[in-house]
DNA sequence: TCCACAGATAAGTATCTGCTTATCTATAAC
DNA sequence: GTTATAGATAAGCAGATACTTATCTGTGGA
């Protein structure tokens, strides 16, 4: 749940790919594995790291487990980034537009 | 300059401490080392990683080197985060206030 | 010219990471 | 029950990481 855990979790491309897949909804471990060229245990281990970092949540349904993005998981990153707001690039304009869009 | 480099660079607490120190302006390597309990070469190596990730810039002045935060360095993180905006927490409200404040 | 100092590089080492195969646990289907 | 399947765990290994001490490079000042 701390900054180091979250940044370390995000540093691995396969783990970011797992999060990416969860963007369009809940998935079980087998579905998460689809595009990744790693073994089932490797996926399971990555999922454990992501869960440990608070980035994903899981819900057991019989012998399946549904994984989903944890809404508060990115909080440490956002908090950290906020401290560096003076060094955000021109992209801030885009961000503003984004937030306006979210209002509607 | 890619996501992996940046997240990996940010995953280390000593490297985040270096960035933290740069928040209040340019520093040379010796100044960066002050609060850290690691050797001079270790600092130098961390600085190299941060530079490689595009997070800091350096400016040689005689035999000193002034390090500073690179304004565009966080772009990959902001871009990545943007894709997950639907999973940002209530903190978005804070962010909006922040941006409004930056307008003034 | 010579020395001091800022910082980088080299080399070595202990620990951490990400992966594998093999195995275990638990639920579902028959 | 027995068997198939989803997922976790164990153990082992190769490569990456973070650190150390020792050394090198280059600039500034005496």
pLDDT tens for each residue of A38-83: 999 999 999 999 999 999 999 998 888 999 999 889 999 999 998 9
Please tell me the predicted confidence (pLDDT) of residue B90: 63
**A window 74-103: Cβ near strand C (< 7 A):** none
Give the distance from residue A2's alpha carbon to the nearest chain B alpha carbon, in angstroms. Answer: 11
Name which of B3, B69, B85 is nearest A98 (Cβ-Cβ): B85
Dist CA A89 CA B28 (whole Å): 24
Please tell me the predicted confidence (pLDDT) of residue A35: 87
Which tokens belong to A16? 């970011």
Which tokens belong to B63? 């035999």
Please tell me the predicted confidence (pLDDT) of residue B99: 60
How many other C-beta atoms can be found within 10 angstroms of the C-beta atom of residue B72? 16
Q: What is the pLDDT of residues B27-78, one digit of tens each?
A: 999 999 988 999 999 999 999 999 999 999 999 888 889 999 998 899 999 9
SS3 B65: strand
Question: What secondary structure letter does DSSP report for A28?
Answer: -
The single residue listed with the structure tokens 């979790």 is A9
CB contact under 8 A, B7 and A10: yes
- The number of helix segments (H) and strand segments (E) in chain B equals 6, 2
Please tell me the predicted confidence (pLDDT) of residue A66: 96
SS3 B20: helix
Residue B4 pLDDT more than 90?
Answer: yes
Backbone φ and ψ for B67, nearest 5 degrees, come out as -100, 145
Mean pLDDT of all residues belonging to chain B: 88
Dist CA A103 CA B5 (whole Å): 33
Taking residues B84-92, what's their average pLDDT? 74
* Residues 6 or more apart whose Cβ sits within 8 Å of residue A45: none
First to last CA, chain B: 31
Please tell me the predicted confidence (pLDDT) of residue A100: 60
Please tell me the predicted confidence (pLDDT) of residue A63: 83
Residue A102 pLDDT more than 80?
Answer: no
Please tell me the predicted confidence (pLDDT) of residue A62: 83
Q: Enumerate the residues of chain A whose CB falls inside 8 A of the CB of residue B3.
A: 13, 16
Mean pLDDT of all residues belonging to chain A: 89
């Amino acid at each position: 749940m701390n900054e180091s855990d979250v940044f370390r979790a995000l540093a691995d491309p396969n783990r970011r790919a797992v999060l990416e897949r969860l963007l369009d909804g809940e998935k079980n471990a087998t579905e998460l594995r689809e595009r990744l060229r790693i073994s089932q245990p490797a996926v399971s281990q990555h999922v454990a790291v992501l869960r440990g970092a608070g980035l994903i949540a899981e819900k057991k349904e019989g012998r399946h487990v549904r994984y989903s993005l944890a809404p508060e998981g990115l909080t440490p990153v956002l908090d950290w980034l906020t401290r560096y707001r003076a060094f955000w690039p021109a992209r801030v304009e885009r961000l503003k537009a984004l937030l306006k869009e979210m209002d509607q």
